[in-house]
Amino acid sequence: MTYLWIKGLHIISVMVWIGGMFGAAIAITAVSTSKSLSYTSGHADIIDALRRWDRRVTAPAMLLAWLFGVAVAMQGGWFGSPWLMMKLVFVVALSGLHGMLAGTLRKLGQTGQPAAMSCYAPPAIIVAMIVIVLIVVLKPY
């Protein structure tokens, strides 16, 4: 029963983490591609709110996802499994992308200039999540 609780908490943490990342990525993309509006105080308010959300909710959810994920892997005896190692490559990439998005939110709050590559974050998040889910469900290796 403990395994199911940990697995459920892992899934919830991942949902909150990825939801926060996706929200930040969409907002950054919208601000950076907005041609009709300059970087206004309305944009600044949205970016500040997203930065606070990231710091208070998204980042802790990422840490909990890692914690519960390690616990699930330990209980399942999956360390060393090729499918888990492949999944971890994508999870580490998502963690790095989260750091990039958090940095971009910080820069936007200071300068109003987003990173050039930030428009690729939303599709990267979607692709990584699809691959992770398929790896976990199918366990191809």
- Delimit the domains of the chain by residue range: 2-138
Q: DSSP for 48-95? A: HHHHHHIIIIIHHHHHHHHHHHHHHHHHHT-TT-HHHHHHHHHHHHHH
**5-47 per-position pLDDT tens digit:** 999 999 999 999 999 999 999 988 888 776 544 555 667 888 8
pLDDT tens string 31-87: 877 654 455 566 788 888 999 999 999 999 999 999 999 999 999 999 999 999 999
Cα separation values, 93 from 32, 124, 128, 129, 140, Å: 23, 10, 8, 11, 20
Indicate the SS3 state at residue 1. coil
What is the pTM assigned to this prediction?
Answer: 0.90
Can you tell me the distance from the alpha carbon of 22 to that of 130, in angstroms, rounded to the nearest whole number?
14
